[in-house]
């Protein structure tokens, strides 16, 4: 009887845990979307408005923790422009940090899905401003192919297009992100 009670307690506790994790993820995604929509509206209505403290690395990293789902201090970003688009490489600094490596791989899949739909709210949220190149990338989403290569410590996402104007927009996106994440 005691054993059955323990199993029921563990089962109920696990269900509650799953509910909390799911609710937190939904809340974080909703907060990111709300922030992005409100900020886009403000920036479109007032072009002289300065972006929200975009060069404060600490705040950007905190927003990155929320949007990406892992500690920004445990990873490295690389943004590379190519002739046909670009590459986003995210790797864990500790090759034995399996949790962060798993979170990176999950995040790369999420942004592949978001970007393929023309949804760039996460970069907008993280950088607290419109991100160069994303308007064209969103409008021409069907002309960009996203491929993922898993690495031992993370993943690379390739953004590939045959449209040279769109490749230039992707290059603007990569240059901006590379500048913003300098040294990180």
pLDDT exceeds 70 at position 163:
yes
pLDDT exceeds 80 at position 91:
yes
Query: Are the C-beta atoms of residues 146 and 116 closer than 8 Å to each other?
Result: yes
**What three-state secondary structure class fits 78?**
strand
Q: Give the dihedral sign, CA 135/108/24/22.
A: positive
- 103-136 pLDDT per residue, tens: 999 999 999 999 999 998 887 776 677 889 999 9
- 37-60 pLDDT per residue, tens: 544 443 444 333 334 444 576 666
- Write down the domain spans for the chain: 1-47, 55-184
**What pLDDT band is residue 177 in, cutting at 50, 70 and 90?**
confident
Q: Rounded to an integer, what distance in angstroms lies between the CA atom of residue 31 and that of residue 62? A: 14
Q: What is the pTM of this model?
A: 0.67
* Cα distances (angstroms) measured from residue 157 to each of 3, 8, 87: 48, 43, 6
């Amino acid at each position: 009887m005691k054993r059955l009670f323990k199993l029921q307690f563990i089962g109920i506790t696990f269900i509650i845990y799953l509910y909390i994790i799911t609710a937190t993820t939904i809340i974080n995604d909703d907060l990111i979307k709300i922030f992005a929509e409100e900020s886009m509206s403000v920036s479109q209505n007032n072009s002289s408005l300065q972006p929200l403290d975009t060069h404060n690395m600490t705040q950007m990293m905190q927003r990155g923790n929320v949007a990406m789902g892992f500690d920004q201090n445990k990873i490295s970003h690389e943004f590379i422009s190519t002739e046909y688009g670009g590459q986003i490489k995210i790797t864990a600094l500790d090759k034995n940090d399996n949790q962060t490596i798993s979170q990176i791989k999950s995040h790369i899949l999420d942004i592949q899905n978001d970007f393929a739909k023309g949804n760039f709210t996460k970069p907008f949220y993280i950088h607290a401003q419109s991100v160069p190149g994303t308007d064209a990338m969103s409008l021409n989403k069907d002309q960009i192919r996203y491929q993922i290569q898993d690495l031992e410590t993370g993943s690379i996402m390739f953004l590939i297009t045959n449209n040279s104007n769109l490749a230039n927009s992707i290059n603007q996106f990569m240059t901006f992100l590379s500048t913003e994440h300098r040294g990180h």
